[in-house]
Chains A and B, each alone.
Chain A
């Protein structure tokens, strides 16, 4: 089977995010970039599903500037077979990304599209669902695992998604409010992954070297015939309101007094 997996280039979540003085965007100079952590979980799952269902192929796709090659290479170094970069400089809204991915899916015809549930830059959490609707596919969002991340199943690196015997459907446990919901989705399908589906592997040095030789195909929105004019524009970015500085209390008795008399919350 063929699995398409997305890897978005995002600001490293450990970098300090600062807003530009003209409030147009965030400061990007001096910020580290990396693959969206949720997408890394999607790549890991794609690799596990591939290896449990040989022969299969994993294709890593990114949409962004030429620099996003680095994130595709990191997916290839984890073990993906080849890459696709849809090259575009500047902001794309999630709807444009979904319609670009729709065209990539039409071209590649994967059985499964795996994506992070959200990218940790714009925190939108909509692209997978939009893609599923545009494709007319079933979806399972927030894919998780029934076992904990310290379980023997995880240590054995088993996929959390379980394919049906005929490989025409997949069972997915979803993290929803109040518990875990299990859905069965017909293939082809779009699945977005949550934090606890797996622990992504580190790329080994030999695999990083091998990844340099793996092919990355370049496409453009124009070549895919997609108008990327945004439906949602970012008109202003500002720093969040700061919290007033708090105080340290010496002991529990003082804490309770403050909570009772000043904050009036107990």
Chain B
């Protein structure tokens, strides 16, 4: 029987939410092509994360110890391939996060597998939908190899639900290859707000903010929202890189997306068009952002956002 291997992502013993979306994609793949799902968790804290994942998946393999502390592509792809061989995987599925994008192609190359990257939907056992040209076209791609690797755009799949009875966690002993890369440091951007790709509300600012994000942040706080930014804002150094929403930044699909002072370049739209409700606030009535907005307000954000913040407060 076919076996689908889910490669989980975790940090410090906690699963990343995107993994549960990738699991949903794996379940849909199992429905189309038959087969059972097993998972592997790699890195420091993997055993603990594996317990968490076992609430969703019947068998979870944990790879921990020397050489796997940091998410290096060389060592983590090697561990994923060991797990894939052990379970006889016909498919390897993972979330297309920075981590997933880094390791998935190396897994595919080691397995001689074709890879469908950043998929939006599972069409059949070997066909998938994915965005091309910044989302201006949706392609159906067919993977022709016996083993397939699939990376999943997490915002397109809901998080999986817990199974009936908890699954088993197994330690998987893997000798780490000696990598040609060495971890030096991680400079974390700390924020009290929800993570951009996981928030149900996102408030984003563009060039129209002139670098002043106070009105954006004040509104985000009353909505318990994540803060996003356009490329222009990030390029100018006004906000950190990882707040960029767009084709080349983060792809988000919250319930509510508020774009303030963002003109709506194609590459920005590619990153937020999937949002359920889109609000655009811009001084320029001709800005392309209004073409995708459910509700458009032609106004100066420095006047409209504080008003909006006060009105929302009144509702709470």
Contact = CB atoms under 8 A, between A and B. Distances in A.
Interface in A224-263: 230-240, 243-244, 246-249, 251-253, 255-256, 258-260, 263
Interface stretch (B33-41, B47-55, B294-302): B294-302
B184 A120 contact: no
Nearest to B110: A133
B309 to A, nearest CB: 10
Contact of B242 (A137, A178, A237): A178
B246 to A, nearest CB: 9
Contacts of B315: 256, 260, 266
Interface string B280-302: 00000000001011111111000
Interface residues of A, number: 86
Contacts of B115: 94-95, 126, 231-232
Contacts, number: 263
B141 A235 contact: yes
A231 B143 contact: yes
Interface in B163-187: 179-187
Interface in A142-178: 142, 144, 146-151, 171, 174-178
B137 interface: yes
- What class of interface size applies to chain B in its complex with A? 35 or more
B279 A186 contact: no
B290 A142 contact: no
B296 A248 contact: yes
If over half of B's interface residues share one DSSP class (helix, strand or loop), that class is named, otherwise mixed; here it is: mixed
A178 B237 CA distance: 16
Which of A38, A238, A252, A259 counts the most B-chain CB atoms under 10 A from its CB? A252
7 contacts: A120-B247, A133-B110, A232-B144, A252-B304, A253-B311, A258-B295, A265-B201
Interface of B: 72-74, 77, 97-99, 101-106, 108-110, 113-118, 127, 130-145, 179-189, 195, 197, 201, 223, 231, 234-237, 241-242, 244, 247-248, 255-256, 266-267, 273, 276-279, 290, 292-299, 304, 307-308, 311-312, 315
Interface of A: 11, 13-14, 17, 19, 26, 38, 93-95, 98, 117-118, 120-130, 132-134, 137-142, 144, 146-151, 171, 174-186, 189, 194-196, 230-240, 243-244, 246-249, 251-253, 255-256, 258-260, 263, 265-266
